[in-house]
Amino acid sequence: MAADGQFEYESVLCVKPEVNVYRIPPRASNRAVRAADWKLDAPDWTGRMRVTARGKVAYVKLEDKISGELFAQAPVEEYPGIAVETVSDSSRYFVLRIQDDNGRKAFIGIGFGDRGDAFDFNVALQDHFKWVKQDDEFTKQAQAPDSTPKLDLGFKEGQTITINIGQTKKKDRTRPQSSGGLGLLPPPPGGKLAPPPSSKSTNHNTQPSTGGSDSGCLLDLDSSNSNSVAPSNSASTTSSDLWGDFDSVTQK
C-alpha cells in the first residue's frame, strides 16, 4: 500500500505565485528547444505553480490562483530528464511534460517573469533528487553484506595483561656543568672568605681623608707625596735667589 503512494506523506518543495503556460510547436528534430519560437507576449494560461514530493517522485502542479483548482500536473521521476527540460536561449523557460489521470501526455512550455523564481524552481528539483540518490546509496549499503574483515580486539584464552601504576623509576638528576668547564671554588677551611683587595692601595693619586688614624692611610699619604718633594725644593731655591738679588741691589 505504501508502495502505491496512497498513504505516503506529501511535502511541498516550492510554491510560485505566477507562472505562464505556452503552447509549443511539435519538435521537428533533436535540436534544442528555443523559447524564442513561442508566443512569449501572449501566454495561453497564467496561474500558480506548486512543486510537491511524495516518496521519490516530484510533482509539478499548475493550479488556479484563486480557487486552487488543478489545471495540469507533471510527475517527475528524475531531473534533469524528459519530464522537465531547459531551453537553450533562456534560464526562465522550461519544457514540461504533463500527464492526466488516463496516462495521456503532452508537452507545454512554462516561463517565469522573474529570474529568481526560475532559479528556485530549478534548485528545488535538484535538492529533491539529490536526496533520492543519497537514500538509494544508503539502502544499497544496508542490504549489501559487509565483506571487510572485522578487527578482533578480544582477549584470547589464557592471555593476560599487566599494568604498572605508580612504579615508575625516578631519573637521576645530574648537576649541570658550565660550558667553560670551570666549576665554583670550594670555601676556605676556616669557613670565612677573605675580604676583597682595597681599591686605595692601587690608586696613588687619591688624597686621604683628614683626621684618619689608620696607618695604612698614612703610608699611602707618604707614598703619594714622595713625588712632590723636588718641586717644593726648587720653588724655595728660586724664591731665595730672588731675595738674594733684591738684597744685592739695595746694598749698592
What pLDDT, in 10s, does the model give residues 154-200?
777 878 888 888 766 655 556 555 555 555 666 666 655 556 665 55
Could you give the domains of the chain? 10-142 (2.30.29.30)
Residue 226's pLDDT band, with cuts at 50, 70 and 90, is: very low
Question: Grid coordinates representing 172?
Answer: 637521576
Q: Could you tell me which of 22, 39, 33 has the C-alpha nearest to residue 85?
A: 33
Contact between 91 and 115 (Cβ < 8 Å): yes
Residue 189's contacts (CB-CB under 8 Å, 6 or more residues apart) are none
Closest CA to 96 of 56, 141, 131, 45: 45
The yes-or-no verdict on residue 230 having pLDDT over 50 is: no
**CA-CA distance, 153 to 62, in Å (whole number)?**
60
Grid cell in block for residue 62: 499548475
Helices and strands, number each (H, E), in the chain: 3, 7
pLDDT at 208 (0 to 100): 47
- CA distances to 196, 218, 222, 229 from 206, rounded to whole Å, are 19, 12, 12, 17
The b/e string for 123-157 (b: 16+ C-beta within 10 A; e otherwise) is ebbeebbeebeeeeeeeeeeeeeeeeeeeeeeeee
| DSSP 8-state class, residue 35 | G
Q: Which of 28-32, 44-48, 230-234 has the highest mean pLDDT?
A: 44-48
**Residue 96 near residue 35 (C-beta atoms within 8 A):** no
Q: Which pLDDT score, from 0 to 100, does residue 228 have?
A: 46
CA–CA dist 131, 135 (Å, integer) = 6
Measured distance CA(132)–CA(58) in Å, rounded = 10
Q: 0.85 exceeded by the pTM? A: no
